[in-house]
Amino acid sequence: MPKPLEPPRDMEFLDHLEELRWRLLRGLMGVLVVAAVSGYFADFIVNDILIGPLKRANPNAKLQNLVPYGQVTLYLQAVLFSALVGAFPILAYQVWKFIEPGLTDAERKASRFVVTFISTCFFAGIAFGYFVLLPVSLGFFASFGTPLIENNIAIGDYVSFFIGTMLTTAVVFELPFAAFVLSRIGLLTPPFMRHYRKHAIVAILVLAAIVTPSTDIITQAVIAIPMMLLYEVSIFISAAVQRQREKEERAAEEAYP
């Protein structure tokens, strides 16, 4: 008697692809909704949020459009970046729901606030970049040099600098979340982070010198000091995660001696 045909082994993989497709579509829909709202307030976003910091730091600075389609590109970049920032919690939620089925019940319970955590870190980084690092950097640039040279800035270069600053601080402020994930999977421990604290401080100072646009020590300290504080917060988070893991291990040993 012939053996029954086995179900195709790639069905589970195809199911994952289908789930990924729907998660991507939902995330894209969230971005489009926020983009529509941002488009309605495009003038406010460009004039007050995007160009506002430059005018406050240097009222005499002049922005120049050097290509025929420059202002169209400017508005598209402003709306798209605003949409990505505003829809970040939606995107983070979709990514989390995609990987959640592969986690254990204990991991789901320990990570139930992960979307809130990662979104809080992201928005804290954006706020720090906009209200602290950007004004300090622009103020330094405005005060540097000779008054005989007029500051005429290409709008494309300014937008690249603005977005780069925001994304840099947003990524840097995800350090506590990275510490949470690495500690959860056992790759990072508080003793390890304490032992290499001095090395981390040197690395932070080097990184601050690389990512900050100016060469003065004050501007570099503006980003280096929060990074050091974030490192200390990451040690605290790693310790909390380690205590939770040890608690779960003891509970498992008592349940299955």
CA separation for the pair 232, 229 (Å, rounded): 5
Tens of pLDDT along 3-29? 444 444 444 766 677 777 888 899 899
Half-sphere CA count of 125, side-chain side, radius 13 A: 25
How confident is the model at residue 114, as a pLDDT? 83
Tens of pLDDT along 215-239? 667 777 877 888 889 888 888 888 8
144 beta partners: none
pTM: 0.81
Band (pLDDT 50/70/90 cuts) for residue 191 is confident
Per the document, the length of the chain is 257
Average the pLDDT over 85-92 and give the result. 92
Average the pLDDT over 81-102 and give the result. 88
Band (pLDDT 50/70/90 cuts) for residue 1 is very low
Query: Residue-wise over 201-229: b if at least 16 C-beta within 10 A, else e?
Result: eeebeebbeebbebeeeebbebbbebbbe
Average the pLDDT over 170-179 and give the result. 88
Residue pointed to by tokens 């025929």:
68
Give phi and psi for 59, each to the nearest 5.
-60, -20
More confident residue, 46 or 140: 46
pLDDT at 107 over 70: no
Q: How many CB atoms lie within 10 A of CB 194?
A: 14
Cβ contacts of 198 within 8 Å, gap of 6 or more: none
